[in-house]
Structure 1
Amino acid sequence: MVSACAYSGAYPTGYGRYAKNTEGLPEELFGHSQASGFTHFQQSGTGAIRKYYNYLRVTPMLQPLDALGDAWPLHDETAEPGYYAATLGTGIRCETTVGEKVAVHRLTFPEHHNARVVVDLSCGGLAIDQGRTVPLRAHVESTGDAAHGTVVVEGVPLSFHIELAEPGWRQMLWYDRRLIEGGTRLDFDRIRQTTLRPFGLLFHGPARTGRPVELRIGFSLRGPAQARDNLHRESGGFDAVRASTAERWRDHLGRVTVEGGTPARRRVFATALYHSLVKPCFADDESPFWPSSGPFAFDICTMWDIYKTQLPLLAAIVPGRAADLLEFLIRVCEEEGNLPIGYRMARGADRFFRQASALAHTALADAQALGLGDLDWNWALVHMEADLHRLYGEDFYEHGVVHPISHTLDLAYAHHCTASVARALNDGKLAYDLAARAHLWTNAFDPATGLLRDSSFYEGGKWNYSFRLLHDMAGRIAMASGDAAYVAMLDAFFGYGASPVTQPGKRPDPAEMAIGYALNRFEGLNNEPDMEAPWSYHYAGRPDRTAEIVHAALTWQFGTGPGGLPGNDDSGGLSSWYVWASLGLFPVAGQNLFLLNAPAFERAVIAVGEREFVVETSGHRPSPIGSDDPEADPPPRYVRSARFNGKALDVAHLRATDVHAGGRLHLELGPEPSAWGRKVRPPSLSDPHGTGART
């Protein structure tokens, strides 16, 4: 539930040095890493979502309270899963760790007669235009060595219980950077942008060199008493919380192991796996919106980012948590009337519906096929079917097409996924009715071009959305006049044979961006609309093209230093793409299907529930990351033959149920393409065996 890190106020997480931007190179807000304190509940690399949390700032200080909000340089930073440390320019060593519902700060001051730990309860959001979050109401009470209260932020009651037990230290309240002598309560019934003045708590006392002070915070969305219970249940002090969290991370990150490859590639892989597991945030038994217990995932930002690659990864290596997430989505539908596209720690109907439609159906269909969890599938089906008629679904039901045109694809696909669940539950009539509308994906395409019809598109254009892995890829390729024509379109999209282009710089003007958009090119993994497009070649009998593009992306778009991600990580959406691509697997979400490709490692072991799925190779050759010398990068390796559990595998796909059952996939790699995977294509709705004639 809890995250914590140094806070500079910069985009996108509150840590770092960059201003907000969506096009071109980012601009620096300041020239070095700095922080004004340490905040809690950060987003994980999401884009322009307006809601970035960063609540309850903890600032260790030697200066007067008037200096609160100043930023100091960060030195000697150390970071690992569950732990962050840095030395502020004031000489204070700051260490932070978190548990499930707690945060503990360990602060080592220089010798000083009156050191301070200031807690700013009014902090929220980012220090950029339109980035601040202003609390609506607040109650704070000081009880001696402890303090508790609730700050209501966008309708959510974030409660806390804070303890600092240090001999000779006192606790005081403050308002508008002025101490309140003898005050034990602060109450604000209504706070507005124009009336907000900072407020919070201050602990102060003598500091001795080498003797740290610990500030312990319990959080809850159900009141200060539960926050106190959460703190006392979890916190045995800094070292105990850090050790417990580190052990949990070792367990989770140990569920995928790789061998071979370069050290840099292994480092990026481990980092990507870590990023893939940071979100969604679970706050079990903490929903402020309904009274019952159970999973509450307050930070799904958004399904559009995570449903293609991240949710299948969670289903594979943390299946219990994946099932909890789906149970939560169904509960949201019960309580709020729709399966959300996104869900934030906020009250209201802002659920990202502009991005896409009915994406939860994809994850639910996969879970049902895999036998994931113990969901009440008859009840789930009721909500899946009802949700298809909401928002854009109402127009789709009446007209068979809806704009933005990508929502037509979403809704047709969701009908297909829901039909598969209905079929599994022996509801033949419902499955038949849903399947009929699943065929309406054809209404989204222009037969004259083989591309989507002109429309508005969310963060992309019609080329970016035209190569999604639909449930009837055979029909989609036929609409494009067959394999050769479809491959030619894909080649143009990925820039085969095209001249190099100039990348946009800082603050590109509209004319410069228009030139780029007119290229109709692959997004380059800096965004989600076309992240699965490289695997579209599989359906046209060209897995070798997939190998080339994925190899180039893994090599040139990801690295170990600053700028090591090609775009916003979007809660782990892009990092989970990297994990699957490196393993030589790609999940086709909603279709019980994995596509196969040349992996980046010699051997990998995936703990799938209680079983192991092993990917091993012969002929593997390690490839560096982002070398300045193109000649130093060996060409891509291609799959020449495959065996699954000792038997020859002539197709470039496996059922997801086979992967989840565990087994051994052996891939023979070579420097030249072969006929492997070209004859029989992955299954499609109109060609379930992948054997249809090709134009």
Structure 2
Amino acid sequence: MDPLRSSFLFVFVFVAAIACAQNVTNSTYDPLHSLTWTTGNVFAGATMPYGMAKAVADVDSDSNQGGFTSEGGKVTGFSSMHDSGTGGSPSLGNFAFFPYANCAGDDVNGCTYPKNARKVSYVNNSVKASPGYFSIQLSSGVTVDMTAAHHTSLFRFKFSDSSNGSPLVLLDLTDLANSRQDNATIHVDGPSGRMTGSARFLPSFGSGNFVAYFCADFHGANIRDSGIFANSRASADVKDLKISRGINGFPLPGGGFIRFDSGSEPILARLGVSLVSSDRACSHAEAEIPEFDFETTQKGAVDAWRSKLSPVKVSTTGVSASLLTNFYSGIYRTMVNPQDYTGENPLWQSDEPYFDSFYCLWDSFRSQIPFLTILDPESVTRMIRSLIDTYTHLGWLPDCRMSLCKGFTQGGSNADVVLADAFIKGLKDSIDWDTGYAAVVKDAEVEPYDWSNEGRGGLDSWKALGYIPVQDFDYKGFGTMTRSISRTLEYSYNDFVISQIAAGLNKTADVEKYEARSSNWKNLFKPDQTSFKPNGVNTGFVGFFQPKYLNGTWGYQDPLKCSNTDLDPNSICSLQNTAGETFESSIWEYSFFVPHDQATLIYTFSGPAAFVRRLDYLHNQNITYIGNEPAFLTVFQYHYAGRPALSARRVHSYIPAFFSPTAAGLPGNDDSGAMGSFVAWAMMGLFPNPGQDVYLITPPFFESVSVTSPLTNKTATIRNLNFDPSYAAVFVQSAMLDGEVYTKNWVDHSFFTEGKGARADARAE
């Protein structure tokens, strides 16, 4: 089967030839600009690649899901666990420090302890960030900088020369979302000042709860005294605290403090974190940062990031610093989440890796994890092993997972796509693909009791009717009875990718079964359905997906509901029980979500020319929302109609207009690096169709791009002849691959693993 399944392809000619890139760099990137992306909810602080410790200043602004944002909020503390790019409730932000140069009246009760009372503004131009480092100055005069190892953060508190008295640093038993439950504890060792303890919290987008543990040590001035605080009072005579949540909405303030003789020298605070025990947190801290050496710890983080980003090099000729920052910051953000919690999973005993903070696979299967497959296949292999091990012990592959908890399922069973993409691209190292296949088949065949958290719902209808009905009768499992259209389309694709794994494992009967089910999307296409704008004007297009009842009769949802043009404040397309039949997008946009059978979809839409007109209308009429992942592939789907030049034009209409290092540089939540990977792929001149061995080609934003495969150590190079820094010439006229004329508009994964060379000759339209 041709991977693009279309007879409309290969009009576009991509250039390829073995060529050495000139003036290449992999060191020009700066994640600092992400601090100004107030709509991206990105984590802006200090961390390692996939690190568990993530140190940053926490603020009280509305978009503080990643801890810090530059909206001008006040700093509530400095914590060591975060996620990046998520929406909804803030995530993690556990066990925050907060410093005082001194307490009023030289009395520990002269300092303010509750979070909402103690928060202070910060000096705007004081914020600095780079890989493994974050620094900020509070309006109180205290400067805080921080760095991180894998499980341990190191904070350095500097007090102004004019400050007198005894500096105090408190540790708060709370988190960003104020989700702490009952029975949080802290013990303060008087002689050493070491603080240990734990608290139970809620996940930000899932079910259940989790316990996190900490171990804090201090270095610098002599310790004057230490103790605990509860509510607004503190005592150096008490060293242990066990505190309830309280009954008034927010957890009662509580934690520990340590006070020093002098603030004339910096005070270092080391915080190890664990999900297993305080002893484990202490062991992490002692092993990773034994000497409280800030510079060495920071250098370790920088070296780790440099190594991870080193496979990608681009020519800087004619390229602005802004574009380089945009490109490399996008790559950087793909490796902030998910987080490597190997050894930190108390739920089951296993020698397999454990990754957490998958927010969510619905977001990341499209571009983030495929990007890591070329950049960091070793880590993706460990992620796949983790997903399979989760299935082995919990019975299901996760669709979303965070903080040891099951996250909410947004659409299909999209771990199926993640596994299939890795399988067809040859990832093997210690992956049990037989168990992996059993896991995806279970998604397709067995309905879980709670399909809001795992697997798929409505499988009886799926198998008997070939679609998910609106208002389905489903008594075997339970979830929110919405999204019947998007679930039908996503289940179709999920079954297709299962057929791809089945083919590789020589399971012929399964290939036929799941390929047949992958065509179920056709059952919700209503050929005579029209679409009107909110002002009543006909869009001029006929034929859209529509909901269908159990008895086979049609329901109705406005094809523009939940699009950018929908002005109805009551339109909801998320996980609410009153939501519509599509998830986070409109029927107009979901009409293009048949990634595995574009040829049939194009035929259904009356051929390539009509398909192109629809795509143009989707983008030109502001129907699609590029700040959400369903829009990604539509930018490149002109390829399937034989018009790849239009994909190139569309890419340049969105970058840098919607993705740039500015105050509003992201159009939506970064979603754990999904937006970053979209930018990185697009600027490299390639884009994946995940679950298939296909990378769609457009001219890169650079004169040359090279990617060295960490698996084979071979370097794939794309050379953009007649490179035009003004980007007027973005339409490829001819192409060569390894010295031979190339007439396809896509390459496969061997382009990277075999280190092929490409050369493209671009011209203006």
Equivalent AA in structure 1 for residue 60 of structure 2: G
Equivalent residue number for residue 437 of structure 2: 381
Structure 2 vs 1, CA of residues 602 and 429 (structure 1 numbering), >3 Å: closer, same or farther? same
Q: Is the 8 A contact 1:447 1:480 kept in 2?
A: no
Residue 40 of structure 1 pairs with residue 80 of structure 2: yes
Residue 171 of structure 1 pairs with residue 229 of structure 2: no
User: Cα distance, 1:432 vs. partner?
Assistant: 2.0
Residue 540 of structure 1 pairs with residue 592 of structure 2: no
Structure 2 vs 1, CA of residues 86 and 668 (structure 1 numbering), >3 Å: closer, same or farther? same
Q: Is the 8 A contact 1:604 1:616 kept in 2?
A: yes
User: Cα distance, 1:615 vs. partner?
Assistant: 1.3
Equivalent residue number for residue 505 of structure 2: 425
Q: Is the 8 A contact 1:96 1:105 kept in 2?
A: yes
Equivalent residue number for residue 3 of structure 1: 54
Equivalent residue number for residue 324 of structure 1: 382
Residue 112 of structure 1 pairs with residue 164 of structure 2: yes
Distance 2:263 2:408 in 1: 50
Residue 285 of structure 1 pairs with residue 343 of structure 2: yes
Distance 2:349 2:243 in 1: 25
Matches of residues 474-623 of structure 1 in structure 2 within 5 Å?
Answer: 474-495=599-620, 521-523=623-625, 525-609=626-710, 610-623=713-726
- Percent of pairs with identical residues: 25
Corresponding residue pairs, total: 615
Q: Is the 8 A contact 1:329 1:339 kept in 2?
A: yes
DSSP 3-state at the match of 1:215: strand
User: Cα distance, 1:520 vs. partner?
Assistant: 6.5
Deviation track 1:298-326 (CA, whole Å, cap 9, x = no partner) reads 20111111110000011111111111111
Residue 140 of structure 1 pairs with residue 186 of structure 2: yes
Structure 2: stretches of 5+ with no match in the other structure: 1-51, 104-109, 203-208, 448-455, 469-482, 529-541, 548-556, 558-580
Distance 1:239 1:465 in 2: 50
Residue 339 of structure 1 pairs with residue 390 of structure 2: no
Residue 412 of structure 1 pairs with residue 492 of structure 2: yes
Matches of residues 415-454 of structure 1 in structure 2 within 5 Å?
Answer: 415-448=495-528, 449-454=542-547
Equivalent AA in structure 1 for residue 200 of structure 2: V
Q: Is the 8 A contact 2:708 2:752 kept in 1?
A: no
Distance 2:599 2:755 in 1: 29
Q: Is the 8 A contact 1:284 1:295 kept in 2?
A: yes
DSSP 3-state at the match of 2:296: helix
Deviation track 1:173-220 (CA, whole Å, cap 9, x = no partner) reads 1111211332222124665555831111111113343x2111001111
Matches of residues 115-130 of structure 1 in structure 2 within 5 Å?
Answer: 115-125=167-177
Q: Is the 8 A contact 1:141 1:148 kept in 2?
A: yes
Equivalent residue number for residue 334 of structure 2: 276
Deviation track 1:638-670 (CA, whole Å, cap 9, x = no partner) reads 111111111111110011233333211111111
Distance 2:263 2:240 in 1: 30
Equivalent residue number for residue 217 of structure 1: 271
Query: Among residues 641, 657, 680, which one is paired with 2:750 in the alignment?
Result: 657
Q: Is the 8 A contact 2:729 2:762 kept in 1?
A: no
Equivalent residue number for residue 688 of structure 1: none
User: Cα distance, 1:471 vs. partner?
Assistant: 0.9
DSSP 3-state at the match of 2:186: strand
Cα RMSD for the two superposed structures: 2.0
Equivalent AA in structure 1 for residue 614 of structure 2: M
Q: Is the 8 A contact 2:113 2:253 kept in 1?
A: no
User: Cα distance, 1:167 vs. partner?
Assistant: 4.2
Ranked by relative contact order (alpha carbons within 8 Å, sequence separation 6 or more), the top structure is: 2
Distance 1:291 1:124 in 2: 30
Alignment TM-score, normalising by the size of structure 2? 0.77
Distance 2:338 2:442 in 1: 25
Structure 2 vs 1, CA of residues 160 and 240 (structure 1 numbering), >3 Å: closer, same or farther? same
User: Cα distance, 1:61 vs. partner?
Assistant: 1.1
Distance 1:46 1:636 in 2: 36
User: Cα distance, 1:385 vs. partner?
Assistant: 0.1
Equivalent AA in structure 1 for residue 91 of structure 2: Y
Q: After alignment, is 387-396 or 467-476 more displaced?
A: 387-396
Distance 2:352 2:266 in 1: 37
Equivalent residue number for residue 78 of structure 1: 128
Distance 2:704 2:743 in 1: 20
Deviation track 1:402-422 (CA, whole Å, cap 9, x = no partner) reads 152111121111111111111
Structure 1 segments of 4 or more deviating over 6 A?
Answer: none
Query: Among residues 366, 370, 390, which one is paired with 2:425 in the alignment?
Result: 370
Distance 1:281 1:9 in 2: 24
Equivalent residue number for residue 97 of structure 2: 58
DSSP 3-state at the match of 2:81: strand
Equivalent residue number for residue 151 of structure 1: 199
Q: Is the 8 A contact 1:620 1:669 kept in 2?
A: yes
Equivalent residue number for residue 89 of structure 1: 139
Residue 458 of structure 1 pairs with residue 583 of structure 2: yes
Alignment TM-score, normalising by the size of structure 1? 0.85
Query: Among residues 444, 460, 463, which one is paired with 1:397 in the alignment?
Result: 463
Structure 2 vs 1, CA of residues 193 and 321 (structure 1 numbering), >3 Å: closer, same or farther? farther
Equivalent AA in structure 1 for residue 150 of structure 2: E
Deviation track 1:8-53 (CA, whole Å, cap 9, x = no partner) reads 12214254568xxxxxxxxx6xxx35412212322212122x3511
DSSP 3-state at the match of 2:366: coil
User: Cα distance, 1:425 vs. partner?
Assistant: 1.1
Equivalent residue number for residue 25 of structure 1: none
Q: Is the 8 A contact 1:122 1:135 kept in 2?
A: no
Structure 2 vs 1, CA of residues 188 and 294 (structure 1 numbering), >3 Å: closer, same or farther? farther
Equivalent residue number for residue 29 of structure 2: none
Distance 1:195 1:559 in 2: 37
Matches of residues 219-368 of structure 1 in structure 2 within 5 Å?
Answer: 219-236=273-290, 237=292, 238-259=294-315, 260=317, 261-347=319-405, 349=406, 351-353=407-409, 355-368=410-423
User: Cα distance, 1:58 vs. partner?
Assistant: 1.0
Deviation track 1:415-449 (CA, whole Å, cap 9, x = no partner) reads 11111111211222222222221222222322333
Distance 1:217 1:555 in 2: 39
Q: Is the 8 A contact 2:417 2:691 kept in 1?
A: yes
DSSP 3-state at the match of 1:556: coil
Matches of residues 630-641 of structure 1 in structure 2 within 5 Å?
Answer: 634-635=727-728, 637-641=730-734
Equivalent AA in structure 1 for residue 298 of structure 2: R
Q: After alignment, is 551-560 or 397-406 more displaced?
A: 397-406
Structure 2 vs 1, CA of residues 293 and 200 (structure 1 numbering), >3 Å: closer, same or farther? farther
DSSP 3-state at the match of 2:369: helix
User: Cα distance, 1:600 vs. partner?
Assistant: 0.6
